[in-house]
Chains A and B, each alone.
Chain A
């Protein structure tokens, strides 16, 4: 370890080394550790208005976590079905969106990496990236208009005679899932693309030469090779979908609440920062545990993802 740092300093020089270490340290501490530590601290204290912060009334308590489970700070008679079901639905929906993105992006990434050539490839990559210059809110509203009862999709379907009443895409969450799936599509495509691209083309040909049909080539050669990329894509899409706020706010139907919206309400409408923090921490921890669990199931190591 000492040798490593010694080397590091020799390689980069004293000034640059200090700068690198300081800036990385600052980033980790100020942007990651400190805010989360505040959140954690908040979540474990009683909910009191700001003037009382730091007084005895602002004491430590686990009541907000208990509230999430039982819907009450004291009794443990019944479960907090409202919040728990929203939470479960959010996680399930995030899994669903992740799977949709995976199903859409794997073929595209594979095509980009191994079939498309030259100009075509550049054009495809551009047409994937450019739409994301439009900001998230605008994109969500565009989806809302598109999927609205007078939107282009309903009009087209009615014109084609497939339906005679406008279909309520919003209430049925189609708009929400579409919007969320689209929002993080690049985060799925690029890690998979990178992983697939690094696969030696000869391996695909060797499998084919040995008689393998295309699906077995994917199952036995391409997917195992791309697994770290697939995992990192899935992790990012899952985390960001579970934590999305704008799209559920705009595209969600009146009855479909996203867990982040509950957190948002706790902070901004109920003024209950403590509960908001507790819920946010719960979401964070459950998501992390879930991802670690899935990595275990699929035998991916954390180090591989970072490649």
Chain B
């Protein structure tokens, strides 16, 4: 079975410190939902409120429509995979996996059978007699998943479970986790500070900063339609121009920046535009949306390069599939970055050269100035 999870106006305080404020989220049943945010933003805290290890200071947590107030973690239909896995080192792998069944009084034969099934699911058949310490990092990871699944939870909660693995294994486990989720069909709530993980695996992502949920949406929306400066700067790479709004229309705004007047989409939040003329604003444009606006280049481009800025090339890096070009632009202390797919030709410019960069207004977004993600 699977269940939905709702947070209604959840606040969590530790003394004076507010670790989560005004969280309102509806996680649908059977979906893969991620909380994405930098370390210390309150992700674990929210997850602990769902699993029952702490009660919200205010607000309600509903699982499958049932109010969870006063229900302890051992009574909730959730299972939590801890950041450090917290496997039981003094038990064998199969005893670990079937601990939840042991608690419910299942006989040894039934437990062995279930253990074998789950070992099959996590691709570790026949490893039940080993001790946890004899397994590799990735294998432990899977045992932790199996142990949680054995409890047959309606909602599986995962607290940065891949953070201890090396890059390659992490990428492999992403695919595997997603596959397991689709096979068992229960709701997964996944916590991570790694945007790659969140975007590749999730149906929906909630981006968090300092205890506040900044935006909820699918990966595409989060990446292409950020609703706050934090989300724009935290998810993916973005070039930033800071300035003041000259004109604010329904769809587009123009912003005066030291690099020139830029036209950008007017980012909406809850259906309303967020900017008015005269207000300070940030303009974001992704490296892959920047083009060299030479005479030849502009005619090939599918979208008109409405915005133009002059820049001087500082440096270019070759990454195989991509060229990364770093340019100095008037008024930006950080180099502006341009990414170009390597089509076998040289990029046609050299460091030190003065160039014009162009970008389309639809791929540019203007947002109210606010907190930015730390580099």
A151 CB contacts on chain B under 8 angstroms: none
A203 CB contacts on chain B under 8 angstroms: 86, 88
Q: Using an 8 Å CB-CB cutoff, how does the interface string of A132-154 with B read, 1 for contact, 0 for none?
A: 00000000000000000000000
> How distant is the Cα of A225 from the Cα of B90 in the complex, in angstroms?
7
User: B57-84: which have CB < 8 Å to A?
Assistant: 72-75, 78-80, 82-84
Query: Shortest Cβ distance from A201 into chain B, in angstroms?
Result: 9
Of A200, A202, A210, A225, which is within 8 A of B103 by CB? A210
Contact A210 B90 (CB under 8 A): no
User: A198-230: which have CB < 8 Å to B?
Assistant: 200, 202-203, 205-213, 216, 220-221, 224-225
> How distant is the Cα of A203 from the Cα of B85 in the complex, in angstroms?
9
> How distant is the Cα of A229 from the Cα of B128 in the complex, in angstroms?
29
User: A166-223: which have CB < 8 Å to B?
Assistant: 200, 202-203, 205-213, 216, 220-221
> How distant is the Cα of A211 from the Cα of B86 in the complex, in angstroms?
15
B75 CB contacts on chain A under 8 angstroms: 211
In the complex formed, the residue of A with least CB distance to B53 is A205
Contact A205 B99 (CB under 8 A): no
List 6 additional contacts besides A205-B53, A209-B74, A210-B147; criterion CB under 8 Å: A210-B74, A210-B103, A210-B151, A212-B99, A213-B74, A221-B88
Given A221-B88, A225-B90: A216 and B103 interface contact (C-beta under 8 Å): yes
Contact B74 A208 (CB under 8 A): yes
How many CB-defined contacts (below 8 Å) exist between A and B? Answer: 58
Given A216-B103, A220-B99: A208 and B86 interface contact (C-beta under 8 Å): no
Contact A212 B103 (CB under 8 A): yes
Chain A positions within 8 Å of B, measured between CB atoms, are: 200, 202-203, 205-213, 216, 220-221, 224-225
Of A205, A211, A216, A221, which is within 8 A of B82 by CB? A205
Pick the 6 closest A-B CB pairs, nearest first.
Answer: A202-B86, A206-B86, A210-B100, A224-B90, A211-B103, A202-B82
B78 CB contacts on chain A under 8 angstroms: 209
Does B172 lie at the interface of the complex (its beta carbon under 8 Å from any beta carbon of A)?
no
25 A–B contact pairs at CB < 8 A?
Answer: A202-B83, A202-B84, A203-B86, A205-B73, A205-B80, A206-B82, A207-B88, A208-B73, A209-B53, A209-B74, A209-B78, A210-B74, A210-B79, A210-B147, A210-B148, A210-B151, A211-B74, A211-B75, A211-B151, A212-B99, A213-B74, A213-B103, A220-B88, A224-B90, A225-B90
In the complex formed, the residue of A with least CB distance to B98 is A210
A210 CB contacts on chain B under 8 angstroms: 74, 79, 99-100, 103, 147-148, 151
In the complex formed, the residue of A with least CB distance to B81 is A206
> How distant is the Cα of A210 from the Cα of B100 in the complex, in angstroms?
5
> How distant is the Cα of A213 from the Cα of B74 in the complex, in angstroms?
8
Query: Shortest Cβ distance from B337 into chain A, in angstroms?
Result: 40
Interface-central residue, B72, B73, B104, by most chain A CB under 10 Å = B73
Query: Shortest Cβ distance from A280 into chain B, in angstroms?
Result: 39
B233 CB contacts on chain A under 8 angstroms: none
Does B202 lie at the interface of the complex (its beta carbon under 8 Å from any beta carbon of A)?
no
